[in-house]
Structure 1
């Protein structure tokens, strides 16, 4: 019985897991849950995940939520130790980033996206520029940590080669980018170089997975330009 993957590609961790599954060749059955249609709030899906969030996997009746836990489970089950090293110290580096990101890059990037895109659409009100400036500042604090801590220590977020930490990181960063954010490429040169490496190593799945977010970015930038 194939793995069942419940996801929406507008979700950052769903995109990370989708790229991973495609690159590793782990067979899975797609179950798309459209967050924009509130399909995650139905009684049927609530029985799959009481927290009403994606991603979720089902493995022969075993249901597992939370993206980091799913990555760990799949890497151990399918022995994908290039993505999640077996050696204890190398694994600890991946765990270190996966734990750090929740209240840093993930939280700040998501709130930038919510403030600029989701809240105005839900409330039919203009963007709260003061709130957006606050979250942009916090996002750039996280980018500074990527630049000056994580990527100063090693060329990837979890060590010297691609791991699932990098998939989590780049998919989180693509969320504010989809909302039209442009980071300072001179200030964050290591981040730029790392992003390009990860994109190159995960093609064609990176572009496939980010097709909708990048169409959103194109539309937002076009609208911004028209208002100048």
Structure 2
């Protein structure tokens, strides 16, 4: 099993984290985005969108970080991470959509401004980040995990960009339940940290 990734990509970390939580043997292959390796024919043959991560499981190629989470949970029969019942599966899917939507266009986009120099409106994406953080804080009232009473791929999907939100000048200080969720994920056996960059609020910490 090969996992093509970049260390500063939260989408990549999402996939690497789940592979590690499942303790799956794999080869992590770093793609040099700065040199444009993701736009070369060899990589585009794996993923025509030219994005990391990409999972190559003995010829079965899966692109998109959330799709990789679903693939691995299904392949290894891990219904503890992805419920089989309709309501549980739907609840997980809801948060995968949030990870690909509100989190991508909020905290992830804010971090792209400071770490990669993206041309987003910083105030706008920071405002979006706080909007989804407020919703998460409310959702976590009286619960430890996003879905049910144990961690699922929903928690894995939201972790990376929430944990590094301060790099995009998104202050997490007012979100006690979100912070508690991050600490619970970090305490899971097999957890691997997402590399931290000295950007945004993290530059002063």
TM-score by length of 2: 0.88
Displacement after TM superposition at 1:159 (Å)? 2.2
Distance 1:36 1:216, change over 3 A: farther
1:175 aligns with 164
Indicate which of 176, 185, 195 corresponds to 1:198: 185
Aligned length: 205
| Superposition deviation, residue 181 in structure 1 | 3.5
Instruction: Give RMSD over aligned pairs.
Output: 2.3
Structure 2's unaligned 5+ residue stretches are: none
- Deviations 1:97-143 (CA, angstroms, capped at 9, x unpaired): 111222201221122112233227xx9xxxx8xx3222211110010
Larger radius of gyration between Structure 1 and Structure 2: 1
Question: Relative to total residues, which structure has the larger helix share, 1 or 2?
Answer: 1
Partner of 1:143: 133
Find the counterpart in structure 2 of residue 221 from structure 1: 204
Partner of 2:176: 189
SS in 2 for 1:206: coil
- Structure 1 length-normalised TM: 0.80
Evaluate the alpha carbon distance shift between residue 171 and residue 52 of structure 1 in structure 2; reply closer, same or farther with a 3 A threshold.
same
Q: Which of the numbers 12, 16, 19 marks the counterpart of 1:18?
A: 16
| Pair 142,162 (structure 1): closer, same or farther in 2 beyond 3 Å | same
* Change over 3 Å in CA distance of 1:214–1:20 after alignment to 2: same
Q: Could you tell me how far 1:13 is from its partner in structure 2?
A: 2.0
The gaps in structure 1 that reach 5 residues or longer are 223-228
Q: Which residue, 128, 132, 156 being the options, matches 2:145?
A: 156
What is the deviation of 1:178? 3.1
> After superposition, where does 1:125-140 map in structure 2 within 5 Å?
131-140=121-130
Q: Name 1:68's counterpart in structure 2.
A: 66
